[in-house]
Amino acid sequence: MLTPIFNDALLAIAHHLFAFLLLACLMAEWVLLLEAPATGVVRRLALFDAGYGIAALGSLGAGISRLLWGLKPASYYTGNPVFWAKLGLWGAVGILSIIPTVRFLKWRRQEAPPSESDFAATRRLVAIELVLFTGIPALAALMARGFGY
């Protein structure tokens, strides 16, 4: 049987690994969107976006698990405005990611590669996601050091 400290550490590790995977997939999408629109690029974008979705769900699942079964009581999180700001940023990034996901799926189904303007518009959205995402670990670091109480 796992000790509560070891269990908490495993949940934190899973939460961080999923967050890093999410960031890696988002960065890969942004880099691919710097290339010229082509069928091969669109296929890779869709693959990285699927990884992004898996990482987002894993991050959310690990975060909820930490909230419910971690060493700190749920009130440690829910009573902290920094936690809510972090969760709000996570939600904003997730909502923004819907548009690129829909575009990637549409692009995969069409015969011709997307236009450069569609690529550029999607690249801007992914860049906004990246900028917003940087606030999430910043807020997590503040929260871990007692900010918000």
Model confidence pLDDT, tens digit, residues 52-77: 999 999 999 999 999 999 999 999 99
Phi and psi at 99, nearest 5°, equal: -60, -50
Phi and psi at 21, nearest 5°, equal: -65, -40
Chain-centroid distance of CA 146 in Å reads 24
pLDDT at 1: 63
Amino acid at 81: P
What's the rounded Cα separation, in Å, for the pair 7 and 47? 32
What's the rounded Cα separation, in Å, for the pair 94 and 142? 22
pLDDT at 111: 82
- Calculate the average pLDDT of the chain: 95
Region of 17 (left: φ > 0; alpha: ψ -120 to 50; beta: rest) is alpha
Low-confidence stretches of the chain (pLDDT < 50) are: none
Report DSSP state, residue 112.
S
pLDDT at 81: 97
What's the rounded Cα separation, in Å, for the pair 7 and 70? 7
User: How many Cβ atoms sit within 10 Å of the Cβ of residue 83?
Assistant: 20
